[in-house]
Each structure stands twice: as C-alpha cells, then as structure tokens.
Amino acid sequence: MESLNEELMPGVSSNFNDDDYEELWVCILNTKGRYELSKNQARTVAQAMATGERGSIMFQTFAIPLAYVAEFYREKRWLKGIKALPARATEEEYIPMDPVKWEKMKQDLYRKLGKTPKKSPTIKEV
C-alpha cells in the first residue's frame, strides 16, 4: 500500500533521510531571549531537556540556561545541497509581444519570403 505522500505526489521520490535536510530551530527563554539553532545544536538542547539536566548548555558564542526555556520548536526544514529545487523552479511569466510590433515583423517576414501577408482581424488600421 502506498503512503499518503506517494499517493498525493506520484513520481516524487520520498527516500530522503534526516541527513538530507537542514533545519532551523528556535529556543525562546522566559527572559525574552531568542536563539536560532542549527539542527545539531537543537539535538543537543533536546537531549539535555529529555534527560532532565538543569544547568546551562554552552555553545561557542552563547549559552542556553535550560531552566529558563519557555519555547523550543522547529521553525524551518528544507532540503540541502543538490536535492533541493533551484530558487526559481517555475517558468518565467509569459509576456506577449506588442500586436503592432508583431504585425510589422510578420509583414517583413512575408516580404522576405515573397508572399503576401494576410490582414489580421484584430489590428485596426488608423
């Protein structure tokens, strides 16, 4: 039986593991401090909270006192490296050519080919 993801998105590979993702975690303290953590930093904080530690966790440039953690959550998760879609994964917006310019170009092409151009019913002669 297919999973819901495979059912909703056929042809999309769902064989990504946890190492294929980068994450942004947020830790908010009671003292209004807000820290953005990487995936590895968040794992360290989560493990310390799960084991019931009561001290502070020291990182290279800051420390998080576990007793004052009010909120701890993942804010973003995205595929990293080559598995991610490019920044502009959609087609560019189609901008039609100016009708007057199109008619002029069409007449030039017909003249070069030695044929007589047909009048377009949408262009009004002034």
* pLDDT tens digits along 69-121: 999 999 988 887 766 666 665 667 778 889 999 889 988 888 888 877 666 56
Q: What is the mean pLDDT of residues 9-22?
A: 65
Q: What is the mean pLDDT of residues 23-31?
A: 93
pLDDT, the chain, mean: 80
Structure tokens at 75: 């804010």
Q: What is the mean pLDDT of residues 11-32?
A: 79
